[in-house]
Amino acid sequence: MWFRNAQIHRIAPWTPAQEQLLDALLTQHFRDPTSAELQTCGWTAPFEGGDFAHCVNRQILLTYRSEKKLLPGSVVNQVTRAKAVELEEQQGFKPGRKQMKELKEQVTDELLPRAFGIRRDTRVWIDPVNRWLVIDTASPARADEVRHLLFKTLDITLLNVELNEAPVAAMTSWLVANEAPGGFTVDQDVDLRSNMNEKATVRYLHHPLDGADVRQHIEAGKRCTSLAMTWSDRISFVLTDAFVIKRITPLDILKDAADPAESEAEKFDADFVLMTAELARLIADLIEAVGGERADERPLLG
């Protein structure tokens, strides 16, 4: 149930009626691709047999689903070349650029029905109370797909989270001072990247970060672009320079605190309530740790 990643957005004040929300999601529901389609996407129920919007404690969970057929370009090109040879023998000369393009399109149409489909789900948590929208992905491209369908489906405004201090500057200062902000501890994974050359990167994994070698890299001009941390002994995670939270892991103290549940539906609800409560506090504390938010919220374009 727990999200593994968090791409965080502010939302403008938004209080949808549940019936209207469900109706809107159904207009963009997921369906299997036809034999002629390479990819489809849409909304599906987060819990099997449930509604398309799973609402508990004024928190909303959505699931974006996509299916893409795997049709390697090398296979298409190989079959196209073979057909081009046959065509050359028939007409007595090599097919031109236009013929090759048409031949490739024909081959793609022929192979699509036999292509293997990969289905992926991405969850979206909407918190109308604290005005957060969080996408469970570390991929910017995947987040773009989800946002595109959100804008197409719902009358919702997403806002950039405008921070008073850049995450890079904040994380670098924590390493230099060898002191994490209140409520947080620094763990043992870090990426340090040069401002002058993006390829010049030093990565430490499972390595103490309070040594002189880390500070020497910073003195040489590198900045922290990814840092593993733990919040309140409850959640471990990695913070990136884009203020994306990755590798979210609830620790034992939270697992022990989970309410016992009899059915799968009750367990799903209990996990969702616990996760949203904890992540809302983590996000608030993390924003405070980087100096808070600026008031000039700018909307993301759909």
**101-159: per-residue pLDDT in tens?**
888 888 788 777 777 778 899 999 999 999 999 999 999 999 999 999 999 999 999 99
Give residue 18's pLDDT.
Answer: 87
| Local confidence band at 243 (pLDDT 50, 70, 90 cut-offs) | very high
Instruction: Report, in angstroms and rounded to the nearest whole number, the Rg of the chain calculated over CA atoms.
Output: 24
Joined together, the tokens standing for residue 1 give 């149930």
Residue 30 CA: distances (Å) to CA of 8, 90, 119: 24, 44, 11
Give residue 245's pLDDT.
Answer: 98
Give residue 29's pLDDT.
Answer: 96
Q: Pick the residue with more confidence: 232 or 208?
A: 232
Task: Give the DSSP letter string of 111-161.
Answer: HGGGSEEEEEEEEEEEETTTTEEEE--S-HHHHHHHHHHHHHH----EE--
Task: Please check the confidence at residue 199 and state whether its pLDDT lies above 60.
Answer: yes
Task: Please check the confidence at residue 302 and state whether its pLDDT lies above 60.
Answer: no
Give residue 173's pLDDT.
Answer: 95
Q: Domains of the chain: which residue ranges? A: 8-68+120-159, 73-113, 167-289
- Owner of token pair 């036809």: 34
Task: Please check the confidence at residue 262 and state whether its pLDDT lies above 90.
Answer: no
Residue 177 CA: distances (Å) to CA of 58, 209, 246, 273: 40, 11, 24, 36
Residue 75 CA: distances (Å) to CA of 49, 117, 222: 39, 16, 43
Give residue 296's pLDDT.
Answer: 65
Task: Kindly report the average pLDDT of the chain as a whole number.
Answer: 89
Q: Pick the residue with more confidence: 253 or 53?
A: 53
Give residue 197's pLDDT.
Answer: 63
Contact 226, 191 (CB under 8 A): yes
| Local confidence band at 261 (pLDDT 50, 70, 90 cut-offs) | low
Task: Please check the confidence at residue 301 and state whether its pLDDT lies above 60.
Answer: no
- Arithmetic mean of pLDDT, 20-41: 90
- Give tens-digit pLDDT for 58-80: 999 999 999 988 777 887 788 78
| Local confidence band at 300 (pLDDT 50, 70, 90 cut-offs) | low
Cα atoms in the 13 Å half-sphere on the side-chain side of 47:
19
| Local confidence band at 186 (pLDDT 50, 70, 90 cut-offs) | very high
- Arithmetic mean of pLDDT, 16-25: 92
